[in-house]
Amino acid sequence: MNVVRYIWQNHTQVLGLTLEHLWLVGWSTVLAMLIGIPLGILIAHRPRLDKAVLGSANIIQTIPALALFGFFLPVPWLGERSDRLAILALTLYALLPIIRNTYTGIRGVDASVIEAGRGMGMTESQLLWQVELPLATSVILSGVRVAVVISVGLATIAAAIGAGGLGEFIFRGLAMIDNRVILAGAIPAAVLALLADFGVGWLERVLRPR
């Protein structure tokens, strides 16, 4: 129970780093949704682009996290603050599941439903907002859920470039060879991931079309 006592003794710091962690994950998820959902919609309607876009997002996924964090260091505005760097890198990682699920969700809408809508004189934007997006929402959200859970884990590495977050405890603990300190970062991170998974999963069920 050493760990619990350690976390309790340092609870203000644990809370502070958890909030930093949430800051990184929250911003990167919002940005990834703002970029990824429109991109997913685009490639669902322009099948010629799908391989290129999904391929690029896939390649980003293969770059090791630490390398990606360091990669943008020399970029002027980004390099000034390490949390900007971290948010950018996390956004790039979150893109693939969000783009892919948006694409799959929209392509998965029954073709006869689209044809009926078009045949009755719905414009392309009416089809998108009233039919495609509502029917794809739960698939898109399950992509967001994957993205958030990945981000919570990856954000611990952001501490390596001084962006803060719960990774601070983990790296410190590694340096001190002290499991209590490592767990003071790892446990709240795991809890965050579970809560995010549960939260978005709940939203997914609520918004699922009947």
Partner 1 sequence: MLCGMPSATAGPVIEFLDVSYRVGETQVITGLNLQVARGETLILLGRSGSGKTTTLKLINRLVSPSAGEVRVNGALTAEGDVNRLRRGIGYVIQEVGLFPHFTVARNIGLVPKLERWPEERIRARVEELVKLVGLAPDLAARYPHQLSGGQRQRVGVARALAADPEILLMDEPFGALDPLTRDELQREFLTLQRRLNKTVVFVTHDLREALLLGSRIALMEAGKLLTVLAPVEFLKSSDPLVAAYVRAFGGGLEPVANRSTS
Question: Which positions touch partner 1 (CB under 8 A)?
Answer: 110, 112-123, 126, 130-131, 134-135, 209-210
Nearer to partner 1, 16 or 47 (CB): 47
Closest distance to partner 1 from the beta carbon of 51 (Å): 21
CB atoms within 10 A of CB 190: 14
Nearer to partner 1, 62 or 125 (CB): 125
* Phi and psi at residue 56, to the nearest 5°: -60, -45
For 72, the 3-state DSSP assignment is coil
Closest distance to partner 1 from the beta carbon of 118 (Å): 7
Nearer to partner 1, 67 or 210 (CB): 210
Nearer to partner 1, 30 or 115 (CB): 115
Closest distance to partner 1 from the beta carbon of 107 (Å): 16
Q: From CA 26, how far away is CA 147, in angstroms rounded?
A: 11
Closest distance to partner 1 from the beta carbon of 126 (Å): 7
**Residue entry with tokens 């009416």:** 126
Q: 123: left (phi > 0), else alpha (psi -120 to 50), else beta?
A: beta
**Is there a contact between 100 and 144 (Cβ–Cβ < 8 Å)?**
no
